[in-house]
């Protein structure tokens, strides 16, 4: 198809939408390291994981071999409510930057959860329902994942118990109300509904909570209530599998119009969006069929890939979850205040960590103020108000496009625009008022946390 | 095309998108009554209107004859950033209601302004730019229109001065920040930047403002600053013309798949969305080619069509604007607190008023709590969190679908889903807490305001 017939926004026909998730682990010669039991340091078995997660999800978590997973029809139906997501040519941004580069972005924010999180939430809710469970539990910080899961549970008629970090519960009442619209119960954490919550409240009266504490409460609630399981919105192999729908859809659209990206960029917190976007392209690179540059963009305040160590660590601050081998800053590392809640995770998906370790993936970190400058510049020409998380990818894509202006190269840049910033306006306000913090941890600080990593 | 090939969501190809706006006035045998000069009570001339509005927009405002206006290429480019909007088959809602009816909705909320307002904002900004103006002024209450205009002005490099009702400015800091992202200056009204603002502040120290006052400040700023004009987001003929893009796009999509709506429903405040959605269908009805039922849905607290009088009235509370013949509750009618800010207007578009007067259009009013019940039921099955305004149409569509269940008729119902409720979660919170007000004005109250209408 000629370039002139490429639309401004590419929406696949429903008949062209992906019918399968792509499991990049199948094409990795060296597989990501297995999860370890935190007590025995031996690989977690399916039976051990079944107490916490749904059976089908445990299977997906442990399966390093199946290349394609057919997406169940019920999930396809749900996807059709908000997918395909558009692949947009950023003509206005190109013009503003006066770059010869061609910039495309895959926009995942056009659904009420406001981000790509819904892609995995619906899968996890579906398998819980199919297993005959009553409900699921989870934690949420900023609220995107909790919102996505509430929507999915509402659709399948599943109970949804969300532990929301107390400070967010109080400061983000709107996120809380959205979850209630979808019928979720939202409990500020720490709470007196769990033993771990009561213990923390007794030891730290007046605490405003943490993600680690909320995870611990959600896990305890899942394992102590018959018919409940715990679900998680990032980091896990299964989540990257579900999120591959982003990349597969992007690749079908690009192939349809003969577009070949040179550079693929995504923001990276736990890795769910980046892992999903790059998956099928990475598969081609792993199989030696094509080459691409992949760039993970993380906040300078929480630089797990660029400044962390590749080691086994706890997936949660509460140290109740299995050990995962990943680039990590240490499970009790608390990043300086920043407004990209989705990128404040201390570690990185084991799949992406292993790919980075193999040199298949680059990583950079960017300071917060520069990210918001890029976000505002993008919004003014492309219309969409981006989430702070997504704006990390915008910043990196703009820098690459400016480099093209300098070298005269007409590279094709693809980035993931994971979500919208409608619930992040406190952050934009701070940016407008010049109150943004660009703190970057010192080497000494990072070394202190790294020294506390579990000995495996 | 067979029913089996109709996608869940219909997105037109870019090549199929409307190239023109449709002017329903051209097909009306009795035209809407002209605007009158508030001093002389004679029809406003183009020269009089030119001081306030851009020249091209004045032409559009007064033109009752031209059926189709080609959409300028610059506006088409902007439309391609967020249009086509999807026409969605509400399969899940139908299943929930166990209705034989087929329900479709045209969803206008997938852009950062969160509503259909952007369709006219970009047109008004474009014509201002083309005329060589420096900027535009406007007022905003809840902030949707102000956001849309900020986005459009940012795109065309036009200054944008927004007067925001002070109570909203303080209670809705997020809307305010979105406008700032797009470079607008946002002033809480009343302010000391205008004579009318200073007068009101002197007379009513501590007032939290009103839409009428904000309009007066915006108009004064436009006429007293060279290179500025005033723009308005609803009510006017020109706005309905631009919003016809909703209806034309819907009709092209329905014609493509051989879908024939029986009932077309929209919420009605000033009439911009309803007038735009029904325009081309109404044209067929006016020309005697086809028949449709059209239903305007208004809040019971502000029932201009269902309980107002058809008479000349001031378009604004401040009584500085021209007189318009419309269904009105009186320009100083203040509705009881309700959360559909976009439906709190005392009057109704002159075009829709005349069509209603001719019996071409039905109107109903619905109480607020029932609207939020419908909104939540819709969100839980269709995913999208609807704006309170849009939810009036949802409520009416659900009621029609339930009627079909009772009669066994498989009618095709189309409604306009004008926007999202991401900035309306205070309202949802009140709904969840059982604090929603369902006040309906008494006949005596309405008679009191009607008695004060200007004598024309």
A235 inside domain: no
pLDDT at B318: 66
Q: At residue A2, does pLDDT exceed 60?
A: no
Expressed as residue numbers, the domain containing A410 is 8-17+72-114+243-450
- My answer on whether B383 and B397 are in the same domain is yes
In A, which residues are within 8 Å of B182 by CB distance?
379-380
- My answer on whether B321 and B419 are in the same domain is yes
**How high does pLDDT run on average in chain A?**
94
Interface test with A, best of B17, B383, B432 (most A CBs within 10 A): B383
CA distance B235 to B120: 12
Give the pLDDT confidence of B34-61 residue by residue, as tens digits: 999 989 999 999 999 998 899 999 999 9
Tell which wins on pLDDT, B343 or A280.
A280
CA distance B314 to B324: 6
Q: Measure Cα distances from A131 to A20, A135, A156, A451, B228 in Å.
A: 21, 10, 12, 42, 64
**To the nearest whole percent, how much of chain A has pLDDT over 90?**
82
Q: Which residues contact B237 (CB under 8 A, 6 or more apart)?
A: B25, B32, B60, B61, B62, B349, B350, B351
B80 inside domain: yes
Hey, is the C-beta of A95 within 8 angstroms of any chain B C-beta?
no
Q: Which whole number is the average pLDDT over A443-447?
A: 96
Q: Distance, in angstroms, between A356 CA and closest chain B CA?
A: 35
- My answer on whether B420 and B333 are in the same domain is yes
- My answer on whether B90 and B151 are in the same domain is no
Give which of B241, B215, B238, B454 is closest to B321, Cα–Cα.
Answer: B215
Q: What DSSP letter does each residue of B222-247 carry, written as one string?
A: HHHSTTEEE--SSSSHHHHHHHHHHH
pLDDT at B107: 98
Give which of B306, B300, B406, B409 is closest to B344, Cα–Cα.
Answer: B300
CA distance A388 to A343: 9
Q: Which whole number is the average pLDDT over A350-355?
A: 98
Comparing alpha-carbon positions, the chain B residue that sits nearest to A86 is B82
Confidence of residue A184 (pLDDT cuts 50, 70, 90): very high
Comparing alpha-carbon positions, the chain A residue that sits nearest to B178 is A425
Using the 3D structure, point to which of A163, A197, A230 is the last residue of a domain.
Answer: A230
**Range with the poorest average pLDDT among A242-251, A357-366, B200-209, B424-433:** B200-209
* Cβ <8 Å between B422 and A155: no
A307 inside domain: yes
B238 inside domain: no
Give the pLDDT confidence of A256-299 residue by residue, as tens digits: 999 999 999 999 999 999 999 999 999 999 999 999 999 999 99
Give the pLDDT confidence of A361-379 residue by residue, as tens digits: 999 999 999 999 999 999 9
pLDDT at A204: 87
Hey, is the C-beta of B373 within 8 angstroms of any chain A C-beta?
no
Q: At residue B1, does pLDDT exceed 60?
A: no
- My answer on whether A102 and A199 are in the same domain is no
Q: Name the burial class of residue B366, with classes exposed (0-12), middle (13-18) and buried (19+) by CB atoms within 10 angstroms of its CB.
A: buried
- My answer on whether B146 and B104 are in the same domain is no
Confidence of residue A224 (pLDDT cuts 50, 70, 90): very high
In B, which residues are within 8 Å of A1 by CB distance?
none
B456 inside domain: no
* Cβ <8 Å between B181 and A376: yes
- My answer on whether A442 and A311 are in the same domain is yes
Tell me how far the alpha carbon of residue B452 is from its chain's centroid: 26
Hey, is the C-beta of A134 within 8 angstroms of any chain B C-beta?
no
B429 inside domain: yes
**To the nearest whole percent, how much of chain B has pLDDT over 90?**
82
Confidence of residue B445 (pLDDT cuts 50, 70, 90): very high
Q: Which whole number is the average pLDDT over B90-102?
A: 97
pLDDT at B78: 94
CA distance B100 to B163: 47
Using the 3D structure, point to which of B190, B205, B230 is the last residue of a domain.
Answer: B230
Tell which wins on pLDDT, A315 or A29.
A29
Q: Which whole number is the average pLDDT over A121-129?
A: 98
- My answer on whether A338 and A411 are in the same domain is yes
ipTM: 0.91
CA distance A251 to A260: 9
Structure tokens at A399: 């820098």
Hey, is the C-beta of A207 within 8 angstroms of any chain B C-beta?
no
Q: Note the pTM of the prediction, 2 decimals.
A: 0.94
Interface test with A, best of B78, B177, B373, B422 (most A CBs within 10 A): B177
Confidence of residue A1 (pLDDT cuts 50, 70, 90): very low
CA distance B317 to B319: 5
- My answer on whether B48 and B30 are in the same domain is yes
What's the angle, vertex CA A193, arms to CA A190 and CA A195, rounded to 5? 80
Q: At residue A331, does pLDDT exceed 50?
A: yes
* Cβ <8 Å between B182 and A420: no
Q: Which whole number is the average pLDDT over B368-384?
A: 96
- My answer on whether A61 and A191 are in the same domain is yes
Q: At residue B5, does pLDDT exceed 80?
A: no
- My answer on whether A143 and A202 are in the same domain is yes
B417 inside domain: yes
**Please, what's the b/e burial string for B283-319 (b: 16 or more CB within 10 A of its CB; e: otherwise)?**
bebbeeeeebebbbbbbbbbbbbbbbbbbbbbbbbbb
Interface test with B, best of A174, A183, A374 (most B CBs within 10 A): A174
* Cβ <8 Å between A174 and B425: yes
* Cβ <8 Å between A8 and B81: yes
pLDDT at B2: 46
Q: Name the burial class of residue B405, with classes exposed (0-12), middle (13-18) and buried (19+) by CB atoms within 10 angstroms of its CB.
A: middle
* Cβ <8 Å between B385 and A181: yes
Give the pLDDT confidence of A16-64 residue by residue, as tens digits: 999 999 999 999 999 999 999 989 999 999 999 998 899 999 999 999 9
**How high does pLDDT run on average in chain B?**
94
Q: Which whole number is the average pLDDT over B286-314?
A: 96
Q: Which whole number is the average pLDDT over A392-404?
A: 98
Q: How many structural domains are present in chain A? A: 2
Q: Distance, in angstroms, between A143 CA and closest chain B CA?
A: 13
Hey, is the C-beta of B157 within 8 angstroms of any chain A C-beta?
no
CA distance A371 to A374: 5
pLDDT at A208: 82
Nearest to A382 among B7, B81, B110 (CB): B81
Hey, is the C-beta of B105 within 8 angstroms of any chain A C-beta?
no
Q: At residue A327, does pLDDT exceed 80?
A: yes
- My answer on whether B152 and B109 are in the same domain is no
CATH of the domain at A226: 3.40.50.1100
Nearest to B181 among A7, A178, A428 (CB): A428
pLDDT at B4: 52
What's the angle, vertex CA B237, arms to CA B194 and CA B245, rounded to 5? 115
pLDDT at B142: 79
Hey, is the C-beta of A291 within 8 angstroms of any chain B C-beta?
no
Using the 3D structure, point to which of A201, A230, A259 is the last residue of a domain.
Answer: A230
A130 inside domain: yes
Hey, is the C-beta of B422 within 8 angstroms of any chain A C-beta?
yes
Hey, is the C-beta of A16 within 8 angstroms of any chain B C-beta?
no
Confidence of residue B167 (pLDDT cuts 50, 70, 90): confident
pLDDT at A343: 85
């Amino acid at each position: 198809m000629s370039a002139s017939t490429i639309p401004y926004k590419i929406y696949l026909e429903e008949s062209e939408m992906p019918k399968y998730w792509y499991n990049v682990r199948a094409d990795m010669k060296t597989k990501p390291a297995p999860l370890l039991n935190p007590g025995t340091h031996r690989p977690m078995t399916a039976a051990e994981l079944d107490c916490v997660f749904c059976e089908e999800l445990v299977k997906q978590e442990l399966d390093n071999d199946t290349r394609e997973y057919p997406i169940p029809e019920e999930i396809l139906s749900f996807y059709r409510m908000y997918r395909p997501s558009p692949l947009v040519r950023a003509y206005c941004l190109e013009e503003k930057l006066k770059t010869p580069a061609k910039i495309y972005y895959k926009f995942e924010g056009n659904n009420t959860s406001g981000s790509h999180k819904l892609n995995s939430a619906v899968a996890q809710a579906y398998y819980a329902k199919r297993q005959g469970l009553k409900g699921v539990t989870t934690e949420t910080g900023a609220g995107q994942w909790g919102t996505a899961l509430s929507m999915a549970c509402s659709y399948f008629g599943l109970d949804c118990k969300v532990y929301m970090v107390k400070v967010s519960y109080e400061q983000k009442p709107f996120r809380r109300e959205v979850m209630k619209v979808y019928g979720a119960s939202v409990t500020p954490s720490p709470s007196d509904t769990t033993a771990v919550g009561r213990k923390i409240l007794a030891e730290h009266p007046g605490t405003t909570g943490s993600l680690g504490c909320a995870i611990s409460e959600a896990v305890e609630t899942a394992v102590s209530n018959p018919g409940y399981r715990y679900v998680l919105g990032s980091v896990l192999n299964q989540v990257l599998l579900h999120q591959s729908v982003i990349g597969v859809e992007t690749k079908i659209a690009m192939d349809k119009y003969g577009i070949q990206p040179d550079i693929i960029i995504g923001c990276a917190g736990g890795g769910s969006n980046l892992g999903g976007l790059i998956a099928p392209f990475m598969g081609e690179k792993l199989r030696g069929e094509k080459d691409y540059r992949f760039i993970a963009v993380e906040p300078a305040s929480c630089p797990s890939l660029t400044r962390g160590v590749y080691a086994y660590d706890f997936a949660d601050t509460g140290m109740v979850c299995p050990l995962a081998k990943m680039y990590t800053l240490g499970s009790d590392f608390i990043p300086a205040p920043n407004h990209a809640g989705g990128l404040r995770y201390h570690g990185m998906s084991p799949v992406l960590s292993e790919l980075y370790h193999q040199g298949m993936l680059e990583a950079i970190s960017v300071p917060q103020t520069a990210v918001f400058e890029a976000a505002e510049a993008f919004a003014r020409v492309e219309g969409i108000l981006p989430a702070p998380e997504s704006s990390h990818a915008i910043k990196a894509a703009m820098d690459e496009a400016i480099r093209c202006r300098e070298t005269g190269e007409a590279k094709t840049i693809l980035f993931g625009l994971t979500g919208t910033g409608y619930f992040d306006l406190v952050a934009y306000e701070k940016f407008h008022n010049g109150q943004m913090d660009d703190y970057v941890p010192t080497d000494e600080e990072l070394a202190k946390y790294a020294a506390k990593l579990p000995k495996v």
